[in-house]
Structure formats: C-alpha cells, structure tokens
Amino acid sequence: MHEITKDFRFDAAHTLIREIAAEGSRRIHGHSYRAQVALRGSVDPTSGMVADMGLVEQLVEGARETLDHRFLDEINDLGPATMENLASWIWRKVKPECPQLVRVTVFRDSAGESCSYWGE
C-alpha cells in the first residue's frame, strides 16, 4: 500500500462568529490556505503509479476553482468557513470521483494551523 498526496492553494475571505477575537473575526478578512488530498492504493505494475498526479490535479481543480478568490460565507453547502468545514467540503467534492481518497488536510501555514478529515 502506498499513499500519494497533492497540494493546492487558495486565497479566500470569510467572517466567523467566535468568542475569542470576536470583533475582528466578524469583520470580512482573508486567509491563504493550502489543502492536501491523500490517496491510498497499490501501485499499478504497468504505470508504476497509485494514480496519475495529472488525474489527481484534475479531480481537485473544481474544488480549488470554487474556493479561490471567493467569499466563503456565500458557499451554501460549506457552513461556517472554518478549516474543519473546508476539509469536509473538499472531501465531499472529491471523494465521489476518487474512491482512493483517504484524507483531506487544510493548512493555514502563516498561523501554523491545520485540520485533517478522514471521512465519517
């Protein structure tokens, strides 16, 4: 069993209702995000690959396009735009086309933060 990963980046704005730093979080502000999808599987003896990275890139492009340079509060099926909800949202977009998906991680590198989702 091998695991391969692919990162993609997006910049987006949001608001957040929270107890700590409440006022600043409620105002529209932005973050640079990095997301990583991980696929597990056996290596195909002919291709030498778990899955072609070109295919993985195509699979995540739709999600990236929907998130990049957007106001995340306007994405109906996201909920509060936390890293947690972004990770499960990306999962829901990619998993149907990619059964080998085992994890989605969303990073906010500038803050040293991340959240991983492995499905339910």
Ligand X SMILES: Nc1nc2c(c(=O)[nH]1)N=C([C@H](O)[C@H](O)COP(=O)(O)OP(=O)(O)OP(=O)(O)O)CN2
Minimal distance, residue 106 CB to ligand X, in Å: 8
Which of residues 1 and 21 has its CB atom nearest to ligand X in the complex? 21
Cβ-closest position to ligand X: 82
Q: Name the residue among 81, 1, 79, 80 with its Cα closest to residue 33.
A: 81
Instruction: Report CA-CA distances (Å) from 75 to 12, 32, 89.
Output: 11, 17, 10
Which one of residues 84, 95, 98, 116 is an interface residue with ligand X (CB under 6 A)? Answer: 84
17 binds ligand X (CB under 6 A): no
In this structure, are residues 95 and 119 in contact, taking their beta carbons and an 8 Å threshold?
A: yes
Which segment (4-12, 48-56, 64-72, 78-86) binds ligand X by CB under 6 A?
78-86
- Relative to beta strand 29-41, strand 101-108 is antiparallel
Q: Is 31 annotated as a binding residue?
A: yes
- Nearer residue to ligand X within complex by CB, 31 or 40: 31
Cβ nearer to ligand X, comparing 25 with 66: 25
Joined tokens for residue 6: 């692919």
Phi, psi dihedrals of residue 84, rounded to the nearest 5°: -60, -50
Structure tokens belonging to residue 107: 């990073």
Contacting positions for ligand X (CB under 6 A): 16, 18, 21, 25, 31, 82-84, 108, 110-111
